[in-house]
């Protein structure tokens, strides 16, 4: 049985993994906000080679603030954001918390990029935060 599984809105793209996320973070950077259309993106980071993906995603690649290359994966039919990859973290896939079926596992450990947070976005006072992406 998968530890985590998920799918896009139309069901064309799905995934499963037996890996527990190493990090779960709410990212408030302007790129994540634009890519998701939400106030922040919740990302669950797992080893890429531990994820089985069904279906073919479309991708969009761009440079991050730090200069690394970011690749956003999304469903070509419904447009749901699915995964993210960063060349600064080779072999790691960021699963989008919004399409994880095991909602009890979506437990953010920290907030990142608080420097670009929408001012009205409420924060969990028990979560540590970083103004940018930690090293």
Q: Structure pTM?
A: 0.93
Percent of the chain residues past pLDDT 90, beyond the cut: 90
pLDDT classification of 1: cutoffs 50, 70, 90 = low
pLDDT, one tens digit per residue, over 41-61 is 999 999 999 999 999 999 999
- Strands 69-74 and 58-63, how do they pair? antiparallel
Domain ranges of the chain: 4-116
Neighbouring CB atoms inside 10 A of 124's CB total: 11
Percentage of the chain lying above the pLDDT 70 cut: 99
Kindly provide the residue ranges of all beta strands, DSSP E only, lying in the chain, ordered along the sequence.
4-7, 14-17, 23-27, 41-47, 51-54, 58-63, 69-74, 81-86, 92-96, 110-112
Q: Which CATH class is domain 4-116?
A: mainly beta
Q: CB–CB of 43/70 below 8 Å?
A: no
Question: Which tokens go with 100?
Answer: 């994880």
Rama region for 58: left / alpha / beta (φ>0; ψ in -120 to 50; rest): beta
């Amino acid at each position: 049985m998968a530890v985590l599984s998920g799918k896009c809105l139309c069901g064309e793209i799905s995934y499963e993994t037996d890996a527990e996320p190493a990090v779960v973070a709410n990212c408030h950077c302007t790129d994540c906000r634009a890519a998701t259309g939400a106030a922040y993106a919740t990302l669950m980071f797992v080893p890429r080679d531990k994820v089985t993906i069904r279906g073919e995603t479309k991708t969009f690649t761009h440079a991050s603030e730090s200069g690394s290359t970011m690749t956003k994966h999304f469903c070509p039919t419904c447009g749901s954001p699915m995964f993210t990859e960063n060349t600064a973290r080779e072999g790691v896939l960021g699963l989008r918390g919004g399409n994880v079926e095991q909602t009890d596992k979506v437990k953010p450990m920290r907030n990142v990029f608080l420097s670009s947070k929408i001012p009205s976005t409420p924060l969990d006072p028990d979560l540590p935060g970083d103004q940018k992406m930690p090293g």
